[in-house]
């Protein structure tokens, strides 16, 4: 709802999975259904995503916000999160969002390169992003910025530059979405007539590695890398091109672990290397289809063993033992 724009990559309804306009009544039903089915613990947020929330006509926007605010006031939710465009932010809107208990605003930045924004039909500039962020930062909202890689006119260098510029804006969190071609979009038409060549998974992962390093170094939380797989967002359904992989974020983390393994094993050959990491990171250390294990074995004749160490930091690898297999 609320978006008169035509970004070339966008098929709002397929991405959100919602195919009808949401009224206060339908929002209430969705929230009630989730609260009943999930029985959440921890931080509970009501989120308005897809479209440009602050572009919805005032009366409909307030109707939806008042439903969310009611759940916050009843203690059933801790806050309200929404996504919108940088050029749909102004002081009047921010005052309104504050008064309805909104806690987090995410802006679709997509790129900080004006040529990429233009070729993608975004209808705003990088300067609009800087302006909107400046306004939002005058309020106590949590700020999330969303970027995309592989848009029309984009290059790996431009994507990395966008991440650096976003990091300089100091958001609380980011989302990074590799561009997928969705059926029926202008981007699909561009792909079919050859004016847009989608990036592959192999093109994308090295760029995501660099982007992740930038945000990790700046201690900016990455909420998500890659669109969530749904019935619609999968090849054979609506995705007709681009670097679709159900776990592209995990591939990226796995690549970062491989680089760490190369550093750790620099100068070693013909040995067994035992490392420890957090339980949930074992599969990333070993790699998808054990690719990291195979690469170490094939390039350095090193056999990789992993152990669990719950006290390891996120992303940390602790060397347990190097055993020379020739001795």
Residue 157 token pair: 């260098």
- Minimum CB distance to ligand SF4, residue 275 (Å): 42
Q: How many whole angstroms separate alpha carbon 304 and alpha carbon 320?
A: 11
- Candidates 81, 85, 158, 293; binder of ligand SF4 (CB under 6 A) is 85
∠ at Cα 219 (85, 319), nearest 5°? 140
- Minimum CB distance to ligand SF4, residue 176 (Å): 15
3 binds ligand SF4 (CB under 6 A): yes
- Minimum CB distance to ligand SF4, residue 77 (Å): 24
Using CB under 6 A, count the residues that bind ligand SF4: 10
Q: How many whole angstroms separate alpha carbon 160 and alpha carbon 112?
A: 10
The site string for ligand SF4 over 45-74 (x = CB under 6 A, - otherwise) reads ------xx----------------------
Reference 303, options 265, 276, 266; nearest CA is 265
7 binds ligand SF4 (CB under 6 A): yes
- Candidates 108, 144, 178, 242; binder of ligand SF4 (CB under 6 A) is 108
89 binds ligand SF4 (CB under 6 A): no
12 binds ligand SF4 (CB under 6 A): yes
Comparing CB distances to ligand SF4, the nearer of 10 and 27 is: 10
What is the number of other CB atoms lying within 10 angstroms of the CB of residue 176?
27
Compute CA 244 distance to the chain's CA centroid, rounded to the nearest angstrom.
Answer: 14
Question: Residue ranges of the alpha helices (H) in the chain?
Answer: 12-16, 24-38, 58-73, 91-99, 114-119, 126-136, 156-168, 186-192, 201-217, 248-264, 282-286, 291-300
- Minimum CB distance to ligand SF4, residue 315 (Å): 31
- Minimum CB distance to ligand SF4, residue 257 (Å): 33
Where do we find the tokens 């990226």? 252
Question: What residues make contact with ligand SF4 under the rule CB under 6 A?
Answer: 3, 5-7, 10, 12, 51-52, 85, 108
């Amino acid at each position: 709802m609320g978006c008169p724009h035509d970004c070339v990559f966008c098929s709002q309804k397929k991405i959100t999975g919602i195919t009808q306009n949401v009224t206060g009544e339908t929002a209430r039903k969705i929230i009630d259904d989730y609260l009943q089915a999930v029985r959440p613990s921890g931080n509970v947020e009501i989120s308005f995503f897809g479209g440009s929330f602050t572009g919805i006509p005032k009366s409909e926007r307030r109707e939806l916000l008042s439903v969310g605010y009611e759940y916050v006031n009843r203690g059933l939710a801790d806050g309200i999160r929404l996504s919108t465009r940088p050029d749909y932010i102004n002081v009047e809107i921010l005052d309104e969002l504050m008064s309805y208990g909104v806690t987090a605003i995410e802006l679709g930045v997509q790129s900080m390169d004006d040529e990429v924004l233009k070729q993608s039909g975004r209808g705003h500039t990088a300067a609009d992003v800087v302006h909107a962020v400046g306004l939002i930062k005058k309020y106590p909202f949590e700020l999330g910025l969303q970027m995309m890689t592989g848009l029309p006119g984009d290059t790996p260098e431009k994507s990395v530059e966008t991440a650096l510029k976003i990091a300089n804006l100091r958001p609380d969190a980011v989302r990074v979405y590799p561009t997928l071609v969705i059926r029926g979009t202008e981007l699909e038409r561009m792909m079919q007539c050859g004016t847009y060549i989608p990036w592959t998974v192999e093109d994308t992962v090295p760029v995501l590695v660099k982007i992740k390093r930038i945000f990790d170094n700046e201690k900016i939380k990455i909420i998500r890398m890659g669109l969530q797989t749904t019935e619609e967002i999968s090849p054979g359904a609506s995705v007709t091109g681009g670097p679709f992989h159900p776990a592209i974020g995990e591939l990226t983390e796995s690549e970062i672990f491989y680089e760490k393994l190369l550093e750790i094993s620099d100068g070693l050959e013909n040995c067994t290397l035992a490392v420890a990491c957090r339980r949930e990171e074992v599969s990333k250390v070993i790699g998808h289809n054990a690719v990291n294990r195979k690469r170490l074995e094939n390039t350095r004749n090193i056999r990789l063993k992993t152990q669990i160490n719950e006290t390891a930091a996120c992303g940390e690898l602790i060397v347990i033992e190097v055993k020379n297999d020739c001795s």
